[in-house]
Amino acid sequence: MARPAYKLFRLIYHSRQTPMVLGDLDAHVHAIIERSIPNNQRFMLTGLLIVVQGFFLQVLEGPEAAVRGAYCRIVDDPRHDQIAIISGEQAQTRLFGQWNMCARALASADQSILDVLDSKGLFDPARLTPKSAVDLLRKVADIQSRNAQTFMID
Ligand code: FAD
């Protein structure tokens, strides 16, 4: 496969949903994805957004300047706060190239997050390492790619 003419960069962060989002999570996530797809397409960005227990976990891949530019916009968005970068590094290949952006909501019983829940069954994004975050995102991407829809709330 031909290598892209730019250096590929992958950024993963987590954030907390703000009360305005929690009021109508489904509609807000739909709005985020609807806006993200054309924006990301324009900048050759791909990725995935996980919605879980009041948190977002997102991966963005693409040319480094485009990833950083999108992240600068995202950081200022009032729909989330307490944003923390898990990893930001150059990558050889896209791991999440199927979608310019898509979202999936996870329920506590979802198999793919069981090993990142604490003993009380709670999701604590601060416990994620760069590797466990990629593992979780890849498991969810696998599930999502078997699903025809681009957005789904469980
Ligand atoms: P507009 O959509 O016109 O937005 C202009 C301003 O209004 C922005 O400051 C925006 O933050 C704010 N805004 C828009 N809608 C709402 C709303 N419903 N409630 C409150 N404020 C609002 N954007 C991407 O391009 N790519 C992504 O991958 C991406 N992922 C995101 C992930 C999360 C978790 C969140 C919360 C947002 C994400 N966004 C993403 C949206 C991003 O934060 C910006 O809103 C968007 O990029 C701005 O798009 P725009 O320049 O077309 O302006």
Count of residues making up the chain: 154
How far, in Å, from the CA of 35 to the mean position of ligand 1? Answer: 7
**Which pLDDT belongs to residue 107?**
80
Question: Which one has a higher pLDDT value, 43 or 149?
Answer: 43
154 has a pLDDT exceeding 60: no
The domain locations on the chain are 8-146
- Choose the residue to mutate in 22, 24, 35, 57 for probing ligand 1, maximizing ligand atoms within 8 Å of C-beta: 35
- Report CA(138)–ligand 1 centroid distance (Å): 24
**If you average pLDDT over residues 3-15, what whole number do you get?**
91
Does 67 contact ligand 1 (Cβ within 6 A)?
no
pLDDT of amino acid 5 = 83
User: Are the C-beta atoms of 57 and 110 separated by less than 8 Å?
Assistant: no
Q: Is the CB of 101 under 6 A from ligand 1?
A: yes
Residue 149, pLDDT above cutoff 70: no
* Ligand 1 close to Cβ of residue 79 (< 6 A): yes
* Spatial contact of 36 and 118, defined as CB atoms under 8 Å apart: no
Is the CB of 80 within 6 Å of ligand 1? yes
Residues 48-77 pLDDT 10s: 999 999 999 999 999 999 999 999 999 999
Q: Report which ligand 1 atom has the smallest distance to the Cα of 47.
A: 28
The answer to whether the CB of 17 is under 6 A from ligand 1 is no
| CA triple 123-132-126, angle to 5 deg | 45
Render pLDDT for 87-135 as a digit per residue (tens, 0 to 9): 999 999 999 999 999 999 988 777 777 778 877 888 899 999 999 999 9
CATH class belonging to 8-146: alpha beta
The CB of 14 under 6 Å from ligand 1? The reply is no
Q: Which residue has the tokens 């793919």?
A: 112
Task: Say what the pLDDT of residue 143 is.
Answer: 85
pLDDT score of 148: 54
- What pLDDT is stored for residue 54 in this prediction? 95
